[in-house]
Amino acid sequence: MKKSELCKLLEVGEWKDVEFKEARSAVPKSAFETVSAFDNTHGGHLILGVSQRGESFEITGVEHPDKVQNDFLSVLHADAKINHDVAVTEERFDSDGKIVLVFHIAENHRTRKPVYMDGDIRRTFLRKGGGDYKAQMQDIERMLRDATADRWDSQPFDRVLFKEAFHSGSIRWYRNRFHQINAGFDPEQPDRDFLYHWGYLLRDGRRYVPTRAAIMLFGSPLAVHQLIPRPTLDVQFLGYASGEPMPETRWLDRMVCEENIVQTWEQLVAKYRFFMPKPFRDIDPVTLGRRDDPPGFRVFREAAVNLLIHQDYGDHSRKAVIKFFRDGIQFWNPGDVFGDDSRLFEPGEKEVRNPQIAMAMRRISMCEQAGTGMRMMRDEWRKLGHSSPVCRNDRAWKAFELFVPGLDTEADMASDLLKAMFGVVGATEIQPGTDSVPSLSQVCPKSIALALARRILHEADGTADIATLMMRAEHTNRTRFRKTILLPLIEASLLEPTIPDKPTSSKQRYRLTTKGRLILEREAPSNEE
């Protein structure tokens, strides 16, 4: 560290990687709490000889720098104080005759966490913002789970009988794609032999026991629920931007997946297909991507699959969440990324939390090769004219968040349709009145925009006059219908008049715009009214 850098830190103040202590004549006990916190999170600088004066920091100096430095380092190397070795480098600065001691505390490797004090694991600390906080037991358990040499997904799972452990459709889905991509393997090989060959079954005497990875990938609902007591994924389609306050109506649509990874992926793709602004025309049977490479799908697939394969499934108190905002998509995962944050976008092999699950998806080309996914997402998204995805690897909360900005989804159209048809502003919906306008609670939440469009526009491939539209909306007041529903639909570019120059013509009829038709095309034929 240079002296100029020290001056900048004084101006900025304490944060997740900087802590100031006065330490005029001795090392304060709280300094070792900071050491534990830095070791367990992202590392940082502990700076002695600086005092806080209100909101600012100033150099006051250490009176006996040699003694303070020796006392600090000797305690760090005393077996009774810190349970793991601490990688520390020290520097000394003279500022107008005042001595400042700077210690850089490196983050410990995952296998040497948690770092705690006095032989008491309850004295584990985490760095959050500009402070040190005592870790809760669930925080400690997360670190202990990540510290093990044997990964969570490689452990055997025998809570259910073998014949009840698997979902045959998921194995079939996976093997179809596997044999299309990987030549030289017998497609007629029994499923048991296939799973055993790739390490998803373990031999225990005469019986076969599935690994946790096998259950998460191909498990039956019974087996998955016995393994994890929370959803695999929560998907939310929101009608507001990420920076806006949450309205009363929290989502336009929501899908909570409690099945295995293969089934969850199939559900997610179907929902993504529904909400994308362009219809899928030709689906690749292996990757489920459009053959004409729709903008953004490769980025979405990489982010979503990473969410499914890298999360901490041993964390039963939190679940993975994908939120479709109006201004982008947020992917939130329980479980941080292993390794150095600065290398996230660099190529090369990296440690992963669930190596068996990750390799299973890579074998069928469902995600990029190891170490290339983050860079691909950044580069591909920039090519589409968007800002780079933003990631946050939070060691303190053991979580990873990725935000992909600027993706327009049909959630925007759904929100526009709601506002146009029922006066929905923000989260407020008008209540049913004399015109028998249904409230949002009366509409199927799984396809809310489509259900509303069908209620008004019926089989709107053709045209309809205002009387027909009023009948479909169960309206009797022509003036109110035109003002509150018809004109807002036209302004939202969902409906258009056939004779725009003569709005009051007796021959006037109305038809769907391309935008309005796109919404209707999302609904499967089985959902026809």
CA distance 512 to 463: 8
Q: Does 527 score more than 50 pLDDT?
A: no
Please give the radius of gyration of the chain, using alpha carbons only, rounded to the nearest integer. 29
Q: Which domain holds residue 415?
A: 410-527
> Which is more confident, 244 or 60?
60
Is the pLDDT at 219 greater than 90? The verdict is yes
Contact 166, 219 (CB under 8 A): yes
Report the C-alpha dihedral over residues 499, 502, 503, 505, rounded to 10 degrees: -90
Q: 265 in a domain, yes or no?
A: yes
Q: Is 48 exposed, middle or buried (0-12, 13-18, 19+ CB in 10 A)?
A: buried
> Do 464 and 356 fall within a single domain?
no
Q: Report whether pLDDT(447) > 90.
A: no
In-domain check, residue 145: no
Distances (CA, A) of 325 to 242, 320, 521: 6, 16, 22
The residues near 270 (Cβ < 8 Å, ≥ 6 apart) are: none
Are 30 and 83 part of one and the same domain? yes
pLDDT bin (cut points 50, 70, 90) of residue 460 is very low
Q: Model confidence over 81-124: pLDDT tens digits?
A: 899 989 999 999 998 999 999 999 999 999 999 999 999 999 99
Helix-then-strand count for the chain, H and E: 18, 20
Contact in structure between 6 and 47 (CB atoms under 8 Å): yes
Is 379 a domain residue? yes
Q: Which of 177, 252, 149, 264 is nearest to 218 (CA)?
A: 264
The answer to whether residues 199 and 240 belong to one domain is no
The count of structural domains within the chain is 4
What CATH number has the domain bearing residue 517?
A: 1.10.10
Query: Is pLDDT at 439 greater than 50 in this prediction?
Result: no
Instruction: Say yes or no: 331 and 457 in one domain.
Output: no
Half-sphere exposure in the Cβ direction for 324 (13 Å, CA): 29
84 and 50 part of one domain: yes
10 and 136 share one domain:
yes
Answer whether residue 507 shows pLDDT above 50: yes
> Where do we find the tokens 């506002």?
419
pLDDT score of 423? 43
287 - beta bridge partners?
none
- Other beta carbons within 10 angstroms of residue 469's beta carbon come to 22
Same structural domain, 393 and 336: yes
CATH number for 27: 3.30.950.30
State whether residue 7 is helix, strand or coil: helix
* Better-predicted residue by pLDDT, 94 or 494: 94
**Per residue in 268-310, pLDDT tens?**
988 887 766 544 444 554 454 545 445 688 899 999 999 999 9
- Dihedral sign for Cα atoms in the order 315, 318, 322, 327: negative
Whichever domain contains 320, its CATH number is: 3.30.565.60
**Distance between CA 278 and CA 299 in Å, rounded?**
16
Flag whether pLDDT at 435 surpasses 80.
no
State mean pLDDT over 8-29. 90
Report the mean per-residue pLDDT for the chain.
Answer: 82
Q: Give the pLDDT confidence score for residue 344 in this predicted structure.
A: 80
365 with 463, same domain: the answer is no
First to last CA, the chain: 69
